[in-house]
Amino acid sequence: MIDQSKDDFDLTLMCDALDVSRQGYYDAAHRPVCERDLKRQQLDDAIRLAHAESHCRYGSPTIHAELAEKGIECCVNSVASRMRAMGIRSVVHQKFRVSTTDSNHELPVRQNLLDRDFTATLPNQKWACDITYVHTGEGPLYLAGVLDCFSRRMVGWNIKDTLHADLCVEALEMAWARRKPEAGLLHHSDRGSQYAGGQYQDKLAEFDLTCSMSRVGNC
């Protein structure tokens, strides 16, 4: 403490305030650092570095594992103790949850014609559609896909950073342009507002596709 403040405050006043003699301060300042204190300082520096490199996410078990990989010998209890002494702790982020299906709407819901029978004897008999998401460094991106139940091939897809209806409409348009299916193809999806909304339903009517929607609780 005295070393850190000696340029700002009078040395004699600081020694008096801390109840130490000037000679005692000089003796301590020139005394060689003991091996135990040196190892503790090296451990503290390694803990700070590992914690900073994890963007403050790592707790003592993970930091201990990081140090072990670097050949630094210590126990996890020592790491936890030094982290407490230095006021270092892991930053716990709430788990990110994404909901891609908004079924809380008053839009018309179609009958479940597929009835969980995803088998098909020919291409372009049944298409199954859904939305998922992909984690990125800048947040989630939403992926809408159209899958042919016969080949399990993704015949249409679209990626956006929002869940607006055009995410799914453009995926359907890609599938239609690539396959040009005959009228009556069974198109199955969940009851989400993207699929139940007028924009998507108009596109199904334009392509003459038969709409089917899952019952509540059926993925």
Q: How many helices (H) and strands (E) does the chain have?
A: 9, 5
| pLDDT tens, residue by residue, 92-133 | 655 555 666 666 677 888 999 999 999 999 999 999 999 998
- Residue scoring higher pLDDT (163 or 1): 163
Confidence of residue 215 (pLDDT cuts 50, 70, 90): confident
Name residues whose C-beta falls within 8 Å of residue 76's C-beta, 6 or more positions apart in sequence.
60, 61, 64
Q: What is the pTM of this model?
A: 0.54
- Residue scoring higher pLDDT (17 or 45): 45
> What are the boundaries of each domain within the chain?
2-86, 126-213
Q: Helix (H, G, I), strand (E, B), or coil: what is residue 121?
A: coil
Look up the CATH architecture of domain 126-213.
2-Layer Sandwich (3.30)
| pLDDT tens, residue by residue, 26-69 | 666 566 657 787 888 889 999 999 888 888 888 889 999 989 88
